[in-house]
Structure 1
Amino acid sequence: MNDRIHNFSAGPSALPTAVMQEMQEDLLSYRGSGMSVMEMSHRGDLFMGIIDEARTRIKRLYGLSDAYEVLFVHGGASLQFAMVPMNFIGEGQTAEYIETGTWSTKAIAEARIQNKGVRVAASSGDQDFTCIPEVKGLSAEAPFVHITTNNTVRGTQWHDLPDTGGVPLIADMSSDILSRPLDTRPFGMIYGGAQKNMGPSGTAVVILRKDMVEKIPHNLPTMLSYRTYVEKESMFNTPATFPIYAISLVTKWLEETVGGLAAMEAVNTRKAEALYALMDEDDFYCGTAAKESRSLMNATFRLRNRELEPLFIEKSLECGLAGLKGHKSVGGIRASIYNAVSEASVEALCTFMDDFRRTNR
């Protein structure tokens, strides 16, 4: 494993080394079965044990009651952008969306494509999405309020949830799911693509409150109705077996190695604080997100002398630090420090940044 580098990619992202080693050991013969997880029947006892374990561990990590279903849905988070309004905005209803950057903007667009009722209740677009906006005047008649809890492009994160007054909260949590404890009671639904904090790309986890199912119309295409995934326990057709297997291992790692979500949050906080402290020492590095909205998952910044940014990327890769180029829409630098990115990796990044600053003043 000596050729492993420090991976700060925004997604697909780093996986825990111990998880990948376990995958490697099981690759040709899962638990002595003589088959890989990629080869076995999705309806056989072995895989049914895997999907049940993934579902159970997610429920245990979040302390979910029996009022919630855990589903594995195709299409990543991007398909959920379309499925959420299709399933939950009824005739004559208007849902509330809070716009905080690229992915929430895409979610709004998918609802509008369907001519669904949408109101942008708050937006930080006038501040280039560098902060979480103040939210006021949410409608008590809305079928749901939609937010994106962490914004990978701009490096902002909700640290306090909006008060929806009892209206179900639906959240795209793709980039901070399972990174910290969560009071799930306000949520009608949580969803997230697997490829940032849970596993490889190929599936989305959907945590759905059971009373939301009653709102789903019966005339939707089968594979676009959450009712199908609930009634068939995510097994209506062949699920993404290997990503679900990876999720079962990552959640096992979170429970048994890390010690749960409170312990994971403590690690993530230390990583982010170390990186932001170095950035704030002077103006050589300039954080792009408002300090009160900074993400624990994606630290975004520019160099005061932007002409040095290509050199920063080049030299960082030479030092074994990968994935630091900012999103193509905004440029700059982005360090994605998801759960599996170790404190040692963040320390290596901080050391490089300090050395680069001294060398290039």
Structure 2
Amino acid sequence: MDLSSEVSKADFSDAINTALRNAAVDTALTGSTTYTDGDIDLTDSEQYDTVRFSISVGDSGPVAIDLRSRILGAGPGDPTQIDAAELQAAMEAELQAIFDDDITVTLASAGSITVTDDQGRALKISQGAGDGTLFGTDSANDGALTIDQTTQTNLSVAWDGNDLVVTNSAGGTTTVAGYDAAANSKVSFDVVSSDQVDEDYDPVYLVETTAISSDDVETSGRVSSSSLLIAFDDLTANGTSSDVTFDITNGDGLVYGAVTLDLYDSDADIIATVKTAIANGITANITDTSISANDFTVAYSDGSLTITNANGRSLAVENYSSSDTTATVAPTGQLSASKNLASQSNYFSHPSPQRRLASH
């Protein structure tokens, strides 16, 4: 899509609206008659009425259909013996020219004709000016063939400048998910009325890569950071060392780094050790290039270790082990969600807490 082209933008919104409309259950009508190759001779004026009928799609009102010109214009193999495939192709082309491409026509092996609407609109087919050859007479069908519309979508999109506005006419919850785009593209999601948003952050910016660059600007998708606070309980332990090992993970098996610490080390050394563990873990365990060690920051002071991810990725502490100290772990700013971790049998132990993405 080219945002500088109104034609490109219109094509894009039309494609979305069509997909939304087509999400409805299809509607279809099948005639009560059957057609066999050669039944119609369009060189005989007395048979002109055989290819005429009337149809309504949605709120279009009755539209008179005459397929003679369409069939003959396509160059039938023998105009005195129109075959079923020629009739089906001509009817579909005519209906799509009048309505849209969501109207299709199929011919069953037994010869019955079915008109289907992918948008699920109401359909009505009557004899009209024809003789009932294609779908049956109104008297044989006990009136026109009809089917009510199925449940229609309440969603639509329209451009407001270069902003694509998604509207739910029923006022229900609307979710945008599964964002995917070419590399180096960005999209922002902004609820028009902020008091209707369920997320913590509005708008939310998503990028397909970690950043979009030009000669004079660099910007990243704006998401909230995620952070874990790990508070160690015993910094003196045996008087010479206080050893701890644990994994920094996403809580679902992905290890960002395997950390081994001696809490007797200086604050700077502890920070450097954790940073190195994360850098090595990402290199060894992660192929997703959008995850970088540069997205992690580490701070340590007075027995409290804070690990932060600027992109809001899920963080967890797993496989905690120490014979010297337990630890309390909590999402930063959420001490009520804290958990105590230990590896000794006489220590209190809980599953590791996680900090999930605040918005996606």
TM more than 0.5: no
Q: TM-score, normalised by structure 2?
A: 0.21
Higher relative helix content? 1
Higher relative strand content? 2
Which of 1 and 2 has higher RCO (CA within 8 Å, sep 6+)?
A: 1
Q: TM-score, normalised by structure 1?
A: 0.21
Higher gyration radius (CA) = 2
